[in-house]
Chains A and B, each alone.
Chain A
Amino acid sequence: MPPFLQFVIRRFMAIPISLLFITLVLYGGVMLTPPEARASLYMPNTQRNLTPEQIKRLEENIIERYRLRDPYLVQYTLWAKSLFEGTWGYSPSLNEDVLPSLLRRTPATVELALYSLLLLIPLGLVSGVAAGWKRSGGFDRGFRLLAFLSTSTPPFILAIVLLSLFYINRGWFAPGRLDLSYLLEISDGEFVSYTGMMTIDAFLNGRTDILGNAFRHLAMPVFTLSIYHWATLARVARVSVLGEEKKEYVTAARARGIAERRVVWKHVFRNTLTPSLTSMTLSAASIVTGVFVAEIIYNINGISTIILSAMSGAPDAPAALGFAIYSVIMILLLMFMLDVLQAIFDPRVREGVLKA
């Protein structure tokens, strides 16, 4: 097996382990509630037609079957098993099973996250390296000011400002995923939904008007998300470049007569990738939280819709727990992808990990 594949597989195996620790803690939280409340995690989608006595009996049945009065580990094992088999419980506020409802909303979330990352990672790395290489130059000063402004503006306030200026006043961009007319057209026509991501589907269907419209709706949330995390990433990239100019490999490269541009973008750039992408991996949770916040503010029907409905209606523990686990899985996958990306670009990561 090629060493790179080995690394990828080994890194992938870390995901279930992390998930195990987190679910242990989450179920520990569930354990604080009485058994009757825990039973709601397994309640099927039939309670509406049942009398209170029947619900009571059903509850007792569930407590018996999933051994909800037994010790923690027994309950946890049965619950973890049900995660693999079942539909993660029935959510009364969504009037739907949790897992299908999460899966259906995933493409919208992924689309938003994907475009933001595609924008912010290259931009952050390049601008950070350029600023750090010519320290205290004109570009560096402008960069530092912009990065400071970006990190000090909370995304939700930036969102208010953007919405007010470009949606209310100018009408250039809009919240939501598509204009209403297009949404209606999509729901009842020849438009085939391949991936659930509007831009890609529109492209595959050859509908440039929908494509343009989808991008117009994506513009503000993507900008809101990218600008904040761009600054964080670019700052790390900048700092990691600062000492590099005096390093011997740069001198050696120059001595060999390599063009300055190539020295920076071929040699120095690669050395800054590891710290920059590591810092991103560590803040993956905050990036995904940012995605959820942007979804809610810009009214995009992604997976965070679920918590909004859970918070406003009847008690809905299955939705809350399902959302927690699902978002953890998303973050773990994001971390995994960033690590693989790092390994692709930085041979040292591959070597180092493989030697260990």
Chain B
Amino acid sequence: MNRVTLVRLCVIAGSVLAVEAMCRFGVINRLTLLPPSEMATYLLHLLVSGEINQAMIQTFSNVAIAFVLSVVFGFVLGAMIHAIPRLRRACDPFLASYYSVPIFVFYPLFVSLFGLNRWPLIMIGFVFAIAAMVIATLNGLDRVPPVLLKLARVHRMSRSAEVLRVVLPAAGPYLFTGGKLALAYSFIGVLAGEFILSGGGLGYAIAYAYDAFDNRTMYALMLFVLIVVTAINSALFIWEQRLLRRRGRG
């Protein structure tokens, strides 16, 4: 473990301990915030008792579907836009301003299109995430060094071999970043959708606990979401750094 990581962990641990102390000594009201140790204990109870299993399954499966759809369709769409310059000129302004559109306003439209089931939420996550993947794909394909495309021709590669053996690996770091962002956006889209618009899932469970003044459940679930998202992002970050180090960019 290097010094920066150690300092970072110390800062986080110190902050948690400070919050714990302030809650224990009454500086922070229990109605406002629970001590982190109590959140963790109650989260353990929720996990062991299986009370949130259904919500977990619903949320994580929705996120997974939204993520896979956004990565696959985002990549295909990005590759298409990259291949057709006229289409790109037409799409550029939309992509540039995409995240200024409040995606959640489309929920009623998704309900009328897909019905009252999991799909409107998945679509929120998907629509929220796909632009990140499209933009990352365009960035990646733009940055494939032309000399590598010439190399593929020198090796008399077919178009499919060129894409699989040269273009995709060369664009890999950008596609990876796109995937990382798509996962984060899928989480945000699905969880926020559940929070506001759904009758199930972790987002809904947090909202329900909040409405019922059930601070223990609310904070335990918030801690759970935080731990899961941080763990996934950290794992992806470490993986990404390892890949970039190989290419001398880490």
Q: Do A and B come from one complex?
A: no
Write the residues of chain A forming the contact surface with B, with a CB cutoff of 8 angstroms. Answer: none
